[in-house]
Amino acid sequence: MDSQQKKQTTFKRLIGYIKPYKLAFIAAVIGMIGYAGVDTLFFSQIETLIDDGLTEQNSDILIYGAIFVPFFFIIRGFFNFASSYFLNWVGFKVVTKMRQQLFDHLMKLPVSFHDQHSTGDLISKITYDTQQVAEASSRALLVLVREGAFVIGLLGLMFYQSWQLSLVFLVVGPLIAKVVSVVSKRFRKVSSRIQTAMGNVTTTAEQMINGHKVVVMHEGQKKESKRFSEINNTTRNQNMKLVNTRVISTSVIQFIASLSLSMVLVIASFPEMLGELSAGAFTTLLTSMIMLLRPLKQLTNVNSDFQRGIAAATSVFTILDEPIEIDKGSKVIDRAAGQIEFDDVSFGYQQGDDLALEHVSFNVAPGKTIALVGRSGSGKSTISNLLTRFYDVEQGRILLDGHNINDYKLKCLRRQFALVSQHVTLFNDTIANNIAYGASKDVSKDDIIKAAEQAYVTEFTDNMPKGLDTMVGENGVMLSGGQRQRIAIARALLQDAPILILDEATSALDTESERHIQQALGALRKNRTAIVIAHRLSTIENADEILVMDNGEIIERGTHQQLLDQEGAYSQLYNLQFHGGA
């Protein structure tokens, strides 16, 4: 029952999306009923045509018929247009709204959510699942209302002609309903599998496209192709199952209906019955019964469409129901002084995992520079991730200007940081716009140029015909790693935040450009708090304090000279880098 209830709430929620477009929706429904009405009216005239027109040889009736037939079809066309147009209009409105909601919601979800979901899967929800919701449910609705009304019309006509014969149909009705309900369960299961499979198709394709270079270098084509072919075939299999169920159920239902037809023929053969029925009435009855098969077939398929829509809607709603980033803080400040304190912070990315940070405590005074060094995986980037609240700490506290960072409004907190992270992300836009991305105030072209100069971006853009207005391609593919880093640094420079986090910000630069940028960064650090993460120790020698991390813990701390004098891990590392050993 639980899944049944869930389905009902999904359905109710879906109705909620249609509510704002009530009028268009009603217009569509009127169009559908009108269409069915015209069809029924058409069939009701068969009796007159045969009994009065043909049997009585009344040519007037035939002439009237000739005039009315085109007229019928004009009205029918009009209703058809109204129902299709308004239904699709509402459908596309719903798709658009859902897509936007998904898009907006995905931006608000915590980093941990994105860690756990593949990009392809999420993209497929935005593109495929939303489309499915509208397409499937509007199809289902069209058939349900239009063909449903037609069935009612035909049944009415039949009962009007001979209720005794028509009763047969009522015996068959419940039987058909039973088949439909059995089949619908299967539809739902298969539909949801198809959605998962479509997500896998996008994910696998996206991995191959993104990792194209790795694939060709490691001769992974066969492996990738095999992986994709398996997923591709799963999708096909599931789709075939859907088709199978649909075709078999249609045939079964039509068979049941045909039984009723033969019963009618048997009953009609009784002499009492034969005397009562005119040729026209009997023809109307038979035609109606045969005509009933088509809408009945469509009505049984309605369920597969409907289940497809519900499955897609469930998948969309699951994402929309994911809790967004916790933002309970209310503290708003314009500009932080920049004092940062880690107070006995322990943190693990996932429950049960090893801790990425263990009992980390340190303090940075406003305007000071702290450097984090240590082996790969020792927890340096994690410290940066926690400061910007990409993840929330549960043990220990992180303070900014003496207040827990959870007390700040999230937006306000993040505005205090300019972050150049290990993985530079560029948008498919011009270099200038990438530099200006996220700058709080309206920056002038001059500001951008100044930042570009300071970060040595102009050094390479000057050789480009379009200069700073050059497009960088998707995620900056048209640029070298060092060039990308320089753009990221320029972006941080322009941001003018009180706290600067540089995570391997200059790792891809040659020594000369690095020296120049260090100068610019040095000037920038002057009245800012800075957290500098670097593998190359030369870049952090003049930090106010250096923390040496290992396995999530701070194992040494002090200034460059103090650490050298200690002759511990830092001095070993230093000697290794400067003298190539010893």
Applying CB under 6 A, the residues found at the interface with ligand ATP are 115, 349-350, 356, 374, 376-382, 422
Min separation Cβ 406 and ligand ATP, Å: 20
- 376, interface contact from ligand ATP, Mg ion, none, CB < 5-8 Å by kind: ligand ATP
Min separation Cβ 519 and Mg ion, Å: 24
Looking at the Cβ atoms of 361 and 519, the one nearer to ligand ATP is 361
SS3 282: helix
Distance CA 517, CA 488 (A): 12
Min separation Cβ 207 and ligand ATP, Å: 18
Name beta bridge partners: 347: 357
- 297, interface contact from Mg ion, ligand ATP, none, CB < 5-8 Å by kind: none
Note the maximum CA span of the chain: 121
- 40, interface contact from Mg ion, ligand ATP, none, CB < 5-8 Å by kind: none
Q: For residue 357, give the nearest of 304, 314, 407, 393 by alpha carbon.
A: 393
- 349, interface contact from Mg ion, ligand ATP, none, CB < 5-8 Å by kind: ligand ATP
Looking at the Cβ atoms of 374 and 476, the one nearer to ligand ATP is 374
Min separation Cβ 207 and Mg ion, Å: 23
Min separation Cβ 111 and ligand ATP, Å: 7
In Å, how far are 133, 145, 194, 318, 359 from 12, measured between CA atoms?
Answer: 13, 18, 23, 15, 49
Looking at the Cβ atoms of 380 and 415, the one nearer to ligand ATP is 380
- 377, interface contact from ligand ATP, Mg ion, none, CB < 5-8 Å by kind: ligand ATP
> What's 258's DSSP letter?
H
User: How many of the other CB atoms lie within 10 Å of CB of 93?
Assistant: 16
The length of the chain, given as a count of residues: 582
- 173, interface contact from Mg ion, ligand ATP, none, CB < 5-8 Å by kind: none
200 CB-near residues (< 8 Å, 6+ apart):
120, 121, 231, 234, 235
The string of DSSP codes covering 479-507 is S-HHHHHHHHHHHHHHH--SEEEEESTTT
Residues 195-224 that bind Mg ion (CB under 5 A): none
Tokens 């000279």 — which residue?
561
Min separation Cβ 387 and ligand ATP, Å: 12
Helix (H) or strand (E) run with residue 64 in it: helix 59-108
Question: How would you classify the pairing of strands 553-558 and 545-550?
Answer: antiparallel
Looking at the Cβ atoms of 224 and 514, the one nearer to ligand ATP is 514
Tokens of 372: 């984090």
Min separation Cβ 555 and ligand ATP, Å: 13
- 356, interface contact from Mg ion, ligand ATP, none, CB < 5-8 Å by kind: ligand ATP
CB 539 within 8 A of CB 514: yes
Looking at the Cβ atoms of 115 and 276, the one nearer to ligand ATP is 115
Looking at the Cβ atoms of 149 and 548, the one nearer to ligand ATP is 548
Q: For residue 172, give the nearest of 234, 85, 262 by alpha carbon.
A: 262
- 382, interface contact from ligand ATP, Mg ion, none, CB < 5-8 Å by kind: ligand ATP
Helices then strands, each counted (H, E), the chain: 22, 10
- 468, interface contact from ligand ATP, Mg ion, none, CB < 5-8 Å by kind: none
Helix (H) or strand (E) run with residue 61 in it: helix 59-108
Min separation Cβ 507 and Mg ion, Å: 10
Interaction mask 395-434, Mg ion, x per CB under 5 A: ---------------------------x------------
Tokens of 456: 């040595």
Name beta bridge partners: 74: none
User: How many of the other CB atoms lie within 10 Å of CB of 462?
Assistant: 10
Looking at the Cβ atoms of 381 and 529, the one nearer to Mg ion is 381
The answer to whether 339 contacts Mg ion (rule: CB under 5 A) is no
CB 33 within 8 A of CB 145: yes
- 229, interface contact from ligand ATP, Mg ion, none, CB < 5-8 Å by kind: none
Name beta bridge partners: 503: 533
- 249, interface contact from ligand ATP, Mg ion, none, CB < 5-8 Å by kind: none
- 378, interface contact from Mg ion, ligand ATP, none, CB < 5-8 Å by kind: ligand ATP
CB 549 within 8 A of CB 555: yes
Looking at the Cβ atoms of 459 and 553, the one nearer to Mg ion is 553
Min separation Cβ 375 and ligand ATP, Å: 7
Min separation Cβ 378 and Mg ion, Å: 9
325 CB-near residues (< 8 Å, 6+ apart):
108, 109, 110, 389, 410
Looking at the Cβ atoms of 315 and 384, the one nearer to ligand ATP is 384
SS3 354: coil
Looking at the Cβ atoms of 325 and 447, the one nearer to ligand ATP is 325
Helices (H), 455-579: 458-461, 481-495, 511-525, 560-566, 569-579
- 379, interface contact from Mg ion, ligand ATP, none, CB < 5-8 Å by kind: ligand ATP
Looking at the Cβ atoms of 338 and 374, the one nearer to Mg ion is 374
Name beta bridge partners: 331: 408
Looking at the Cβ atoms of 302 and 492, the one nearer to ligand ATP is 492
- In the set 307, 381, 388, 416, which binds Mg ion (CB under 5 A)? 381
Using CB under 5 A, which of the segments 61-69, 168-176, 219-227, 379-387 binds Mg ion? 379-387
CB 357 within 8 A of CB 345: yes
Looking at the Cβ atoms of 29 and 546, the one nearer to ligand ATP is 546
Min separation Cβ 504 and Mg ion, Å: 7
Looking at the Cβ atoms of 436 and 501, the one nearer to ligand ATP is 501
CB 360 within 8 A of CB 552: yes
> What's 110's DSSP letter?
-
If phi > 0 it is left, if psi is from -120 to 50 it is alpha, else beta; for residue 326 that is beta
Number of residues that bind Mg ion (CB under 5 A): 2
Q: For binding to Mg ion (CB under 5 A), which residues are involved? A: 381, 422
